[in-house]
Amino acid sequence: MTFLNKRTRYTLISLLLIGGTIFFIYLMPKPNSDVKNRDILSTIYRDSTQSVSVRVEDLLNQMTINEKIGQLALVDRQKIYDSRDLAHYGIGGLLSGGGSKPSSNTPQAWLDMVNEFQRSANESRLGIPLLYGIDAVHGHTNVPGATIFPHAIGLGASRDADLVYQIAAITTKELIATGIFWNFSPSLDIVQDTRWGRTYETFGSNTQIVRELGVAYINGLQSTTVGASHVIGTAKHFLGTGAMVWGTSENPDFKIDQGLTDIDETTLRSVHLLPFIDAVNAGVGSIMVGHTSWNGMEIAANKYLLTDILKNELGFKGFVVSDWYGVYEISDNKYEAVVMAINAGVDMVMLPFDYKSFTKQMQQALLNGDISTQRLDDAVRRIMRVKFELGLFDNPLIKTIDSAQLGSSAHREVAREAVRKSLVLLKNDKATLPLSPDTPHVLVVGSSAHNLGRQSGGWTVEWQGVDGNGLSGTTILDAIKQTVSEQTVIEYDKEGDFPMTQGLADIGIAVVGEKPYAEGWGDDEHPRLTDEDLLAINRVKKRSKKLVIIIISGRPLDIRDEIRTWDAVVAAWLPGSEGEGVTDVLFGKVPFVGTLPVEWPL
C-alpha cells in the first residue's frame, strides 16, 4: 500500500510538471513564421460590415495568451531596438514621450516612422494594428510647423467651449496628417496648488469650467474625421492629481508632482470626479491613471477607484492606461506591481521600457493564478474595441501626408483668436490700455519679448520645451512692430540697457515670465519673476512715461511687491505661436475678455 501511495504521488507530480511545461510553452511568444497560417483563421474580425462587438469577440477567441499579453504593453518607440519585436511580442501600443521624435523632425518623417511601425506590427499572426500615442496637449507641437495653441490654462481663462472644440478638432487633423490616432489629452485635473509644475496643463481650479471645456475638447477631438480616420482622447489624470500636497512627492527631484492626495472621498467625488463623469458620458476612448496616491495607495493599484467606481459605477467602456512608468511605482517588486495594477483595473501599461520582462511577469502571473484569464480578456477586449472603433484594422496607414493641415493659416487664425480670448487684465491705471498704434515712441524689454520658446512653454518639440526662436510663429516683439504705425519708433533690448536720450519714451513694454518647463521639473515653491527681468523692468520704467507688463507664465507669479509701481499688467499665460493675438488686445483691436482660471493674489 505504501508503494502504491508513493507511485501515485510521483505520477501526479510528473503530470503537473508536464502540464505546467506545456502551458508555459503555450505562453511563449510565437515566431513570425505563424504569419503564413493566417489563411486558416476565421476572418470575421477583418470584415468591416460586421459590428464592432462581433469583430472583437471573433478576434479574442483566436488569440493566444501571449498575443493577449502583448496588447497590454505600451512602449516608447525609442525602446524598440528590433522592429520585428512588434509582431513577435504582439505589442499593443507605442508612444513618443516628450521629445521622442524621428531623427529628421519633419511631418513626412513622422508619417514614415509611424507607418513603418504599423507595417511591422502587421506581420504578426493576426495582423493586429498598433495604437500610437502622443502628448499633443496644445496642438501637435511635437512637429515643427504645426499650430501651437495656448496651453490649457489660457483656454481656461477664455471659458469658451466652442473655441476649445475648434482647437481639439484642428489638433485631430494635424495628428492624422502624421498617422497618429491617439492623443494623451485633455487634462481634467482641478489644480489646487499653483506651485505645481503641471498647472498650465489644466483648465484651472473651477470644477464647472473644467467640466465644460473638457467635454468640448473630447468632442472636438473624437468627432472630427479626415477621410475614414479619427482620433481618441485621453482624460487624465484619474483621480485627484490636482489636489496633491506640497512636499509629498515620491520623486526626490520634485516637490508636489507624483505626490500624495490628502482629501476625503466626498471631496474627491464632488470636486475631482465630476469632469471624468462627463468624459465617460462623452465617450472618451481612454483614461490615464495619475501619478499620485490616495488613502495610502497608488491610484494605479486602487481597485475601488479604477474598477468599482470608474468601470462599474460610471460604466466606462474604454480602456485604462497607466502613466509613464507609473505601474512600477506601486512596489519595488516589479512582479507584484504588475499584478496589483492589472487586478486593480489598469488595461494598458505604459511601461514604457522593458516589454520583454513585462511579458514574463504576465506569463508567470497567469501561470500562478495571480491574474485571471477573465481579467486579461477584459483588458484586451477594451483595447480591441477602441482599435476597431478607430478603424485601425481597416485603414491602419495614412498613405500620403496632407501638408496643408499642418500650421495652415486657417488653423493659426484660430490659435490667434484663442490668444486674444485668454488674456486677463490684472491692472490698468491711468487708462494705460489699450495702446494707440500711433504711439510715437515705444521701448520693449524682457526675456519673453522675442522668444517663441518661452511663449510656447513645455511640451513644445521637446518635453521641457525650448528656450529660443527655433519655432514657427510670431514673437510678441515682432507682433508689436507689425501693429504700430510706420511713424512709431520701436527700440528693443532684452535687458533694458538703452542709451540715455533726451526725454522719455511714451510707453515701455516689458514682456517677462518663466522659462519653459514640464511636470515636476517645474515645481516651484515661490514662482516669481527673475532678477534679470525685474532689473529690465526697472530700467525701462525710468525711461518711459507709462509702463505695461505682459507676463508669460504657466501659473500666477508673485508680483505683490512690484505691481503697485506698474501702470498696467496683463496675464498672457503661455500663448503659443501667435504673438499677434497679444497685440490685437494690447492695441485695442478687440477688448479683454479673459478671466482668471485660478486665484492670483495681487
Residues designated as active site: 323, 519
Sign of CA dihedral 602, 158, 572, 193: positive
Nearest to 342 by CA among 389, 385, 387, 289: 289
Backbone φ and ψ of 42, nearest 5° = -65, 140
Pairing of strands 544-552, 286-289: unpaired
CA separation (Å) from 279 to 64, 162, 205, 347, 350? 33, 16, 17, 18, 21
Spatial strand order of the sheet with 73-76 comes to 182-183, 131-134, 93-96, 73-76, 349-350
| C-alpha atoms less than 13 angstroms from C-alpha of 168 in its C-beta half-sphere | 31
Residue 216 region by backbone torsions, left for phi larger than 0, else alpha for psi between -120 and 50, else beta: alpha
Name residues whose C-beta falls within 8 Å of residue 64's C-beta, 6 or more positions apart in sequence. 26, 27, 30
Nearest to 509 by CA among 569, 423, 452: 569
What is the number of helices (H) and of strands (E) in the chain?
19, 17
* Helix 207-223 × helix 274-281 angle, to 10°: 20
β-bridge mates for residue 286, sequence order: 234, 319
Distance CA 205, CA 193 (A): 9
Distance CA 226, CA 230 (A): 6
How big is the CA angle at 592 (ends 433 and 489), to the nearest 5 degrees? Answer: 35
Could you give the dihedral angle defined by the CA atoms of residues 84, 74, 101 and 239, in that order, rounded to the nearest 10 degrees?
Answer: 180
CA separation (Å) from 554 to 59, 159, 200, 524? 45, 17, 5, 12
Distance CA 465, CA 10 (A): 65
Name residues whose C-beta falls within 8 Å of residue 269's C-beta, 6 or more positions apart in sequence. none
Distance CA 106, CA 100 (A): 13
Query: Which burial class, exposed, middle or buried, applies to 57 when counting CB atoms under 10 A from its CB (0-12, 13-18, 19+)?
Result: middle
* DSSP single-letter state for residue 516: P
Distance CA 481, CA 437 (A): 10
